[in-house]
Amino acid sequence: MKNIGFLSFGHWSTAPGSHIRSAEESILATIDLTVAAEEVGLDGAWLRVHHFEQNLSSPFPLLAAMAVGTSRIELGTGVINMRYENPLYMAELAATTDILSGGRLQLGLSRGSPEPAADGPGTFGYPLKPGQLPVEDAHERIALFRRAIAGQGLAASDPRHTGEPQDLPIVPFSPGLSDRIWYGAGNIESAKTVGTLGMNLMSSTLVLEATGESLGDIQARQIAAYREAYAAAGHTRTPRVSVSRSILPITTPEDHAHFGGIAIEGSFGNRGDQVGIIDNVRATFGRTYVGEPDKLVAELGKDHGIAAADTLLLTVPNQLGVTHNAHTFAVIVSEIAPALGWRD
C-alpha cells in the first residue's frame, strides 16, 4: 500500500501566467494547498528547501502553520541542506514542530545540491574546515542532529545550577521523531550508507547515475541495495522509501491548455528520461508523465522505482496556484492512485 503526497519547491515568479508572484503568496498558498491535499485524501505535504532562490527556504515556521490547519496529513521536507544548519538549534525547532503537529513530522536531510551562491553555508557562518568535503560536513551535522533528537545528553552541566555534574539533552524532546529522519541519496553508494545508518531513503527525479537504464530502474537497484544494507546493519524498524515524480493528468480544457503541448510524444518535457551533467557527474533526470488518466496508469505501472517505494511524492507546478493543483490531486487520488497500490 502506497503513501502519496506532494512535494513543492514553492517557486514564485512574476512571469505572465504565474498565480504565485511573491514569497508571501508562496508561503500562504503552501498552507492552503496542504489543507486542500488533506481534504482530497493525500497522505503527505512535503517542502523542498532552497536558499538564495525564489523558493521556500525556512521550513519550520511554515510546517508549524501547516500543522495547525490540518489533523492527519504527514508534514515533511525533501530536503534540508544540513550545511546551512546549526544541528542543536534545528533539533529544538524540529521537536517543537513535531509536538505541534502531533507527531506527523517527516524530515528529509541531505548535503544539498548546486545553488546560485558561491558559498552559501559560509555566508551563513558555516564555512568548510580546511580539507573537509561538503558531504563530510553534512554528515557530521546530521549525526549531531540525530543524537540531539534522540534525547542524548550533549552539554556538560554547570554544577552551580544542577548539583551533580550531568550531560544535558536538548529540550523539548519529541518521542518517535528520531525514527522519521530521511536522507536524500543520489547514487547507490549513498543509498547503502543511508541503510547502514538506519535512516529512511528519499530519491528524487534526479539520480547521479547514467547507465542507459530508466530512472525507475536505477532507483529500484538503489532501493534494493539500501534495504540490503539496512538489514545487514541489524536495524529492526521497517524502513520507508520515497520517490518523486512529475505527474500531470489531462481531464479538462484547462489541463489541455497547460499541458497538451507536453503530452505530444517527443515534445520538450515529454522526451523520456534525460542524461545531463550535475556537479561534474553524469546524471539521469526523470521524465514528466503527462496525459489522460488511463495512459498515465499504464505508464506509471511500468515504473519500477514507484513499484519499489512505499511513498510517492508528486512534484507540484507551484505557479499554477492552489486551485489547479488541488484539482490535479483529486484526479490522481480518484483515477490513478488506486492502480498504483494506494487506497484511501
d(CA 225, CA 86): 31
Position 207 confidence tier, pLDDT thresholds 50, 70, 90: confident
Identify the band that residue 280 occupies on the pLDDT scale cut at 50, 70 and 90.
Answer: low
Half-sphere exposure of 176 (CA within 13 A, CB side): 9
Q: How far is CA 83 from CA 3, 111, 155, 165, in A?
A: 29, 6, 22, 32
Per-residue pLDDT for 263 more than 70?
no
∠ at Cα 68 (64, 71), nearest 5°?
115
Among 107-111, 116-120, 263-267, the least confident range: 263-267
User: Which DSSP symbol is given to 333?
Assistant: I
Q: Is pLDDT larger for residue 285 or for residue 84?
A: 84
What is the mean predicted confidence (pLDDT) over 11-21? 95
What CA–CA distance (Å, rounded) separates 311 from 321? 24
- Statement: residue 4 has pLDDT above 80: yes
Q: What is the pLDDT of residue 268?
A: 47
- Residue 128 burial (CB < 10 Å; 0-12/13-18/19+)? middle
pLDDT tens digits along 130-180: 999 999 999 999 999 999 999 999 999 999 998 899 999 999 999 999 999
Q: What long-range pairs does 196-201 form, CB within 8 A, spacing at least 24? A: 196/229, 196/230, 196/232, 196/233, 197/233, 198/230, 198/233, 198/235, 198/237, 198/239, 200/106, 200/239, 200/240, 200/241, 200/242, 201/226, 201/239, 201/240, 201/241, 201/242
Mean pLDDT of the chain: 92
Q: For residue 117, give the DSSP letter.
A: S
Sign, Cα dihedral of 253, 254, 260, 261 = positive
Indicate the pLDDT class of residue 54, thresholds 50, 70 and 90: very high
**Contact assessment for residue 208 and residue 248, using Cβ atoms and an 8 Å cutoff:** no
Statement: residue 270 has pLDDT above 70: no
Q: Where are the domains of the chain?
A: 3-340
Cα-based angle 293, 294, 299 (whole degrees, multiple of 5): 95
Judged against a pLDDT cut of 60, whether residue 269 lies above it is answered with no
What CATH number belongs to 3-340?
3.20.20.30
Q: What is the mean pLDDT of residues 271-276?
A: 69
Report residue 84 as a C-alpha cell: 546551512
pLDDT for 210-253, tens place per residue?
A: 778 888 888 999 999 999 999 999 999 999 999 999 999 999 99
Q: Where are the alpha helices (DSSP H) in the chain?
A: 23-40, 59-68, 87-101, 120-123, 134-149, 159-162, 188-197, 215-232, 253-263, 293-300, 304-308, 321-331
| Kind of pairing between the strands at 281-285 and 274-278 | antiparallel
281 contacts: CB under 8 Å, gap ≥ 6: 208
Dump pLDDT digits (tens) for 311-333: 999 999 999 999 999 999 999 99
C-alpha cell at 57: 527556504
Give the global pTM. 0.93
Q: Average pLDDT of 274-296?
A: 80
C-alpha cell at 60: 519550520
| Chain CA centroid to CA 274, Å | 21
Query: Which residue matches cell numbers 497500490?
Result: 341
- Does residue 286 have a pLDDT over 60? yes
